[in-house]
Amino acid sequence: MQMTRPGTLAGIFVVCAIVAWLSVRATFTNLPLLPITAVPALGALAIAEAAVGRHIRNRLTGRKGSATKPVAPIAVARLVALDGSGGHRADRRRLVPGALLPGATAARRLRRRVRAATG
């Protein structure tokens, strides 16, 4: 077995990039434009998701002003499963309120708590 040459890797990269570009272009040129009424609806959903995420984070960390009732372990597991991003959407300078938890480190801490709570 030998190491792959850099030229071979570059060729594979170029071919994959061209195939990906062509498939994305073919797929997304046929989609209809987003109607203007969808923009406020998606904005409202993003704000609601950010508010729920902040509330859950406050309950998990035990910050003042949050609910005194702890979060059930199964609810935490569901939140982790629903947040399929693993927290990476909010890592982009924390401008995108699309993730339940801000950052991958918070998601890792949450997974550790789930494991500890569920045994």
pLDDT, one tens digit per residue, over 43-94 is 998 898 888 888 877 777 777 665 567 777 788 778 777 766 555 444 444 4
For position 16, what pLDDT does the model report?
Answer: 97
Which pLDDT value is given to residue 39? 87
State what percent of residues in the chain have pLDDT above 70.
71
Query: Which of 67, 61, 103 lies closest to 83, judged by CA?
Result: 103
Structure tokens at 57: 């984070």
CA end-to-end span of the chain: 44
Contacts 24+ apart (CB under 8 A), 103-107: 106/57, 107/80, 107/83
What is the model's pLDDT at position 19?
96
- Residue 98 is predicted with a pLDDT of 41
pTM reported for the whole predicted model: 0.42
pLDDT for the residue numbered 11? 96
